[in-house]
């Protein structure tokens, strides 16, 4: 699986850790690359655009709390970004919502938990069925308000 990953300065350390810890994915790192203060929308928008274009199969977005990254990513048509703080949320975001961007708060979850959250998300299948009807409604809202 090809994953695009991006963060602001608060997420750089965890981003680098995840790239080394997750073995069943190829990463496209869109930055930032150091802990100098920067604006998360600049990097999270690159994550969303790579998923939208098909350059990546899915994305991981990080900022301090994950809130700003989640808000930013969800502004893009077709992006279903899920801010997850535990493995159950990550699994269900994929099973029921077919989340294509996982969002983590680097200052909220510890390193080991973050790795487990990502792996839970990657391993979970989308169930489709009744959940697709709901995603279709979300897509209609994106297009028509």
Q: Quickly list DSSP for 74-143.
A: TTSTT--EEE-SSHHHHHHHHHTT--SEEEEETTTS-HHHHHHHHHHHHHPPP--THHHHHHHHHHHHHH
What DSSP state is assigned to residue 54?
Answer: T
How far CA 10 is from CA of 32, 38, 63, in Å, comes to 10, 9, 6
- Whether 87 sits among the annotated catalytic residues: the reply is no
- Whether 84 sits among the annotated catalytic residues: the reply is no
60 closest CA partner among 101, 2, 12: 101
The helix or strand, by DSSP H or E, that contains position 5, with its residue range, turns out to be strand 2-7
CA distance 130 to 133: 5
Catalytic hit among 9, 63, 87, 131 = 63
Catalytic hit among 9, 84, 87, 96 = 96
Pair 34, 76: CB distance under 8 Å: no
Catalytic residues: 63, 96
């Amino acid at each position: 699986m090809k994953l695009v990953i991006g963060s602001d300065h608060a997420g750089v350390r965890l981003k680098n850790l995840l790239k080394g810890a997750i073995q069943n994915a190829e990463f496209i790192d869109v930055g930032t690359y150091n802990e100098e203060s920067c604006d998360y929308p600049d990097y999270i928008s690159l994550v969303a655009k790579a998923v939208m274009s098909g350059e990546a199969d899915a994305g991981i977005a990080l900022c301090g709390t994950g809130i700003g990254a989640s808000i930013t990513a969800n502004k893009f048509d077709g992006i279903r970004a899920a801010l997850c703080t535990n493995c159950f949320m990550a699994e269900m975001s994929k099973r029921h919502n077919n989340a294509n961007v996982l969002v983590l708060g680097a200052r909220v979850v510890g390193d080991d938990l973050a790795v487990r959250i990502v792996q839970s998300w990657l391993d979970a299948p989308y169930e489709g069925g009744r959940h697709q009807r709901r995603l279709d409604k979300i897509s209609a809202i994106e297009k028509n308000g």
